[in-house]
Amino acid sequence: MTYTDLTFESLGNGIEICISTEHRFGTDAFLLADFAGARHKDLCADLCSGSGIIALLLQKNFQPERIYALEIQEKAHRQLRVSLERSGITNILPVLGDLKDWKCGRELDLITCNPPYKICGTGAKNGSEAVSIARHEMMCTVDDVCACAKKNLKFGGRLCICNRPERLCDIMISMRKNGIEPKRLRTVHKNPGCPPWLILVEGKKGGKPFIQIEKPLYVRSADGGNSEEMMRIYGLD
């Protein structure tokens, strides 16, 4: 199948990402990739990978050994394949499938997920089914994400998720239910005078109860531009 709405954006270091009307990316992907980090020897997976932005950012900034990019929508999966071919990347493996059924076959060090934020049946849905699947829990829930992480993480492996602040309780309950202990929490704010619009949560499989609340991350500086931290995250410092 040929798609007529594909364009490319440069992420730097010779990496280009293929985007489309339905499968794009936002600031939250940059925030999650930076929050998660990775080591060179890590085996990683990105669930609900979409166009593959988080997998590509992990590769650009951390170069882990392997990244499995799991996506249920065929168009987004194909977009990532195009990005990898265009960018000459060989250690990201696109996987077309349902995370509820996926078993890697290797124990993973790190799993990231930028999941659908809205509970199915709440909020107005987009006219595009593909966009609705990305935004609403139509195909997977937070519980499904944590259950997948439980199956695929090694003992001590990490699950890093971003979501809206109102889903924090859901995430922590689901992590614990699946043997993944919440260990780090960071809130993201437009500026110091605004409530958080995003949360970043890290859980560790088999971890002991103890959570570190990190300092807030502010997206904007006093003059309205990107903050110094956001400039670093975007690679513009």
Contact 45, 107 (CB under 8 A): no
State the average pLDDT over residues 178-196. 97
pLDDT of residue 229: 97
Checking if the pLDDT of 126 tops 80, the result is: no
State the average pLDDT over residues 153-164. 98
Give the fold, CATH level 3, of 27-233. Answer: Rossmann fold (3.40.50)
Whether this model's pTM surpasses 0.85: yes
pLDDT of residue 61: 97
A 10 A CB-CB count for 136 gives 19
pLDDT by residue (tens digit) across 133-148? 445 356 899 999 999 9
Q: Which tokens sit at 146?
A: 């944590």
> What is the percentage of the chain residues whose pLDDT exceeds 90?
84
State the average pLDDT over residues 106-133. 70
Checking if the pLDDT of 128 tops 60, the result is: no
DSSP string, the chain: ---S--EEEEEETTEEEEE-SSS---HHHHHHHHHH---TT-EEEEES-TTTHHHHHHHHHH--SEEEEEES-HHHHHHHHHHHHHHT--SEEEEES-TTT---SS-EEEEEE----BPTTSSPPPSSHHHHHHHBTTS--HHHHHHHHHHHEEEEEEEEEEE-GGGHHHHHHHHHHTTEEEEEEEEEESSTTS-EEEEEEEEEETPPS--EEPPPEESB-TTSSB-HHHHHHTT--
pLDDT by residue (tens digit) across 13-54? 999 999 999 999 999 999 999 999 999 999 999 999 999 999
Where do the domains of the chain lie? 27-233
State the average pLDDT over residues 71-92. 97
pLDDT of residue 236: 87
Q: Across all residues in the chain, what is the average pLDDT?
A: 92
> What is the percentage of the chain residues whose pLDDT exceeds 70?
90
Checking if the pLDDT of 76 tops 90, the result is: yes
State the average pLDDT over residues 73-89. 96
